[in-house]
Structure 1
Amino acid sequence: MKPVLVMFASAPWRGGRTRDGLELALALLAFDHPLGVLFVEDGVQLLVPGQNPGPSGLAEVVRGLHALPHHGAAAMVASAACLRRRGITDTGLPVARLETAALGQFIKGFGHVHCC
């Protein structure tokens, strides 16, 4: 099986894209499919701990993201540049930080990329 990368690039409050990506990731892991997760652009805002979830259902998404490493996600990575641009120093998830130059090589390691 070719590994799949789920790339979160949208802000958490921007509709159902984030939830769809999380559901895809959990479904892949349920069938023991190799999975990586990447947070870029506004998607890094999912990593801010202690957010007020409001009525958008963000609390469920954040709980689901925290479950990914426990269910076997092989890699959890965030763009270091995107985190810096948004002033995010603390993340609520165990993610590796990659600089822009290394992100391309990381993405090439996956057979399929799903952007949400």
Structure 2
Amino acid sequence: MFVKYCACVFLLAAVMSAYPYMYMTESYRVGIQYAKALPMDGGSDRYRHWNNYDPFFVTITTSAKKGYVIAYLDVTATVANGGEVNFSLVRGSTGTRTMVFQLVSNHSEFLSYRYLPTG
């Protein structure tokens, strides 16, 4: 009896650990890529939400190296499956030295993002 119980517990633990956790990734690009574009300093971060049902805002300022302007900006954001993520450009545009963008996620336990400006 004890062996059957242990086998059931082990099987249940194995099934639960093998269950895949699903993610949703969105990619955004602002601007137009050209042939001799140089990558600037990008970044990434991961935040954990305290309340999954309140929108979570992250505002990021990115800038080009001295003597360059931003030709395009690549942003990739990942949330839990069923979550939502929205991208908006708050300030700046292509052809300027700085751009400020905002990511808003909702219905997710976390927000992970990475960005790379290119000029």
TM category, shorter: under 0.3
Higher strand share: 2
Higher helix share: 1
Q: TM-score, normalised by structure 2?
A: 0.26
Q: TM-score, normalised by structure 1?
A: 0.27
